[in-house]
Chain A
Amino acid sequence: MIAESVTPPRQITGERRQRIQAFAVAWLLALGVWQITTFISGGWVPSLWRIFEALGEDATTANIYAEMWITLRRIFISFGAATAIGIGLGVAMGLSRRVTAFFRPIVVMGLAVPDIVYIIVAILVLGTDESSGLIAMVLALVPFVVNIVIGGVKSRDPGLDEMSSVYRLQRHRYLVDVVGWQVSPALLAATRTCFAFSWKLVVLVEALSQPRGIGAQVYYSFRLLRPDHMIAQALLFIVVLRIVEAIMFGPLERKLLGWMQ
């Protein structure tokens, strides 16, 4: 119990000022370093201005948005599937030691296998259509989700479990009311991580195998030796996705975790 002291208004704006300061310094420094790199590499690394121009060109063609839409669709499908499977498996494993023992080696190996391998193997086995890429992504993502969810489930309060059995709660009530809410922060963390990985992974998948999608575009720009476009497209992609991330998870986090305050 600590006495709350009133923060004088000048302190609050001071805090804001510091954040803006930091923002400015960070960006100026980064851009400065980039320009130096451009200079050192003798123009091989595109200058900021060149990137800006390329950005302008790309952002105004409709093409890029069509590609982005394709990529987004793939992200959502694989992220959705991986989260669902991962949560299901994670909860099952977290609740039962036998299930954990059974699946543990797969999950450990799953975590360790490089994503490329999944993609290559998927292509070999299933051919080169879109589905193989998606399956590869799901395979790569599930172990991460499972890992986080298991952590959350295993760290639940055993006292509440005991209470549930004393009061003879039914299985599904137990899962939802007792386990579910305790596990919700972990579920949220798992979902966020899964989404974050999925959009980074999709770039790789597209670069390797698909003719369409942002990742493929970035790779083409790379191949055609157009670093300015490569960086511009990458930037567009990253910015859009961070916005999507913020929109998806901001309000969700507040809603689900409100009871913890």
Chain B
Amino acid sequence: MSVPILLWWIGSHTTTFVPPMGEVLRKMPEFLSEEDIWPDVLLTVQRVAGSLMIALSLGFGAAYVMHKGGLWGRVVDRYVGLMLGIPSTIAALLSLYIFKRSELGVYFVVSIVTFPFVALTLLQGLRAADRRLDEMGDVYRLPTSQHARHISAPHLVPYTFAAIRNEYAHAWKVVVLAELFAVNSGMGARFARAFDRFRIDDAMLWLIIFMIILLATEYLLLLPSERRALRWRGSGKEALL
């Protein structure tokens, strides 16, 4: 924990740009109580959550079709492969053209960029399905709905968490990008404005808020849910990094 702080300290003393830590931290409470920062924060959070949900649905659908195979399986496979390779900047600029400056554009960019990764992870999960449990389900003549609910779905839970974790962080990055290029609201836009106006301390503060939200979601939301969903495994098996 000490290293980044150390780096900041060094940075602030060697250049005139980076403001000393104390000053920035002092501005924090004032900054946080400024009412107009919260709508932007909320907006960005909303966008991330919404796009992630879309990405999860699309990703699951894609993984399912890819796993089934056949003509559509291969077609979707190609699309996913293609979309993995689009630089998010280009996707952002493109969506700007298609959706102009609307909210939809942001959701579009973030979902399109993240869903292929979700699909890949879930596909791995589908492929790793335990044939032996499937067979047990067949022997006991489990109807398809029960089979899906008790055997197929729980198997995918760890993979879903992995996908969520990775793509959540990814989604944040893309959303900032999208907000920077495409719309005038949200944290990304505020951050860019701070940069434009050379308000470095503001930029730093936005960065800190960003960090806090990220760490908070990881430790307060993701890890506990994961632990709870996977408690049948015994302890110590959650993702490490």
Could you list which residues of chain A lie within 8 angstroms of chain B, going by C-beta atoms?
18-19, 21-23, 25-26, 29-30, 37, 41, 44-45, 102-109, 111-117, 120-121, 124-125, 147, 150-151, 154, 196, 199-201, 203-204, 207, 215, 218-219, 222, 227, 230-231, 234, 238, 242
Contact = CB atoms under 8 A, between A and B. Distances in A.
Contacts of B240: 154
A120 B203 contact: yes
Interface string B173-200: 1001100100000001001000100001
Nearest to A207: B89
Contacts, number: 116
Interface of B: 1, 3-4, 11, 15, 17-18, 71, 74-75, 77-79, 84-90, 93-94, 96-98, 169, 172-173, 176-177, 180, 188, 191, 195, 200, 203, 207, 210-211, 214-215, 240-241
A18 B87 contact: no
Nearest to A46: B97
A178 B172 CA distance: 39
A105 B71 contact: no
A45 B211 CA distance: 37
A27 B89 CA distance: 23
Nearest to B97: A227
Contacts of B211: 109, 112-113
B101 to A, nearest CB: 13
A71 to B, nearest CB: 11
B47 to A, nearest CB: 13
Given A26-B75, A108-B241, A116-B188, 5 more contacts: A22-B71, A44-B97, A45-B98, A112-B169, A117-B191
